[in-house]
Amino acid sequence: MRDISVLEISGGRAPAHVAIIMDGNGRWAKRKGLPRIMGHRAGAERLREIVEASVRNGIEYLTVFAFSTENWRRSKSEVEGLMNLFRIYSRSEANSLNSNGIRVRFIGDRSELEPRVYEAMAKLESATENNSKLCLTVAINYGGRDDIARAAKRLARAAADGEIDPDLVNEGYFAAMFDTGFLPDPDLVVRTSGEMRISNFLIWQSAYAEFAFVDTLWPDFTAERFETVLESYSRRDRRFGAAAS
């Protein structure tokens, strides 16, 4: 029997695009007396459950913040552990993702990643490119300001080469230059762990997103907790600058 989503029960509407700042792995591990990398492994396991819940609730796009441009400041051992986790996940999850119709895309500056990490990511993108049930986008070495700066560089080069007329550049044209040019703007941005900031994540794209800041650490953010957030979102009145009806 197919699982019934909380939105089907409540009659609420699902956001088309949910973006999640998966925060709290390190604190989760510390509370349990474990190395930080064990928190990241637990977080990777939790992502599987949230991906399944996203499909069940009719979400079309799920974007997760896995490693920011600022995370290079962490200890060498933690960064190496995270990069190995990305590489292993990219190789081990391909069959499961394909069987569930999930397409994987990566955003962020890949130029600073090790070749073996970049290659594993590219292979997973290629292996899942024909899937259409859910687009799972993973942000690695991503920063919102960096995304805007790199988009501006692309526009500047195109203008310098005579490929575009600068007078024709508008918001839509500029947004198409972002790493997220293939995605619609997020409807809902969720941050776990109780922090109330977006930490340089999708800062242009989330201009009219709804936000949910939850106290739960990411490894403890169950599908049930996620569906509670979705149900709350379904009751919000999104006006995009218009007056209330």
pLDDT confidence of 9, banded at 50, 70, 90?
very low
pLDDT by residue (tens digit) across 25-35? 999 999 999 99
Q: What is the pLDDT of residue 7?
A: 56
Q: What is the pLDDT of residue 26?
A: 97
What is the Cα 219 distance to its own chain's centre? 16
Task: Give the tokens for residue 137.
Answer: 């986008």
Distances (CA, A) of 114 to 19, 30, 136, 141, 201: 26, 28, 22, 12, 22
Would you say residue 8 has pLDDT above 90?
no
pLDDT confidence of 237, banded at 50, 70, 90?
confident
pLDDT confidence of 240, banded at 50, 70, 90?
confident
Average pLDDT over residues 41-56: 97
Q: What is the pLDDT of residue 2?
A: 43
Burial class (CB in 10 A: 0-12, 13-18, 19+), 237: exposed
Average pLDDT over residues 158-164: 94
For residue 189, the cross-strand partners are 19, 211
Share of the chain above pLDDT 90, in %: 90
List the catalytic residues: 23, 71
Q: What is the pLDDT of residue 5?
A: 58
pLDDT by residue (tens digit) across 211-230? 999 999 999 999 999 999 99
pLDDT confidence of 1, banded at 50, 70, 90?
very low
pLDDT by residue (tens digit) across 52-90? 999 999 999 999 999 999 999 999 999 999 999 999 999
pLDDT confidence of 12, banded at 50, 70, 90?
low
Average pLDDT over residues 2-17: 67
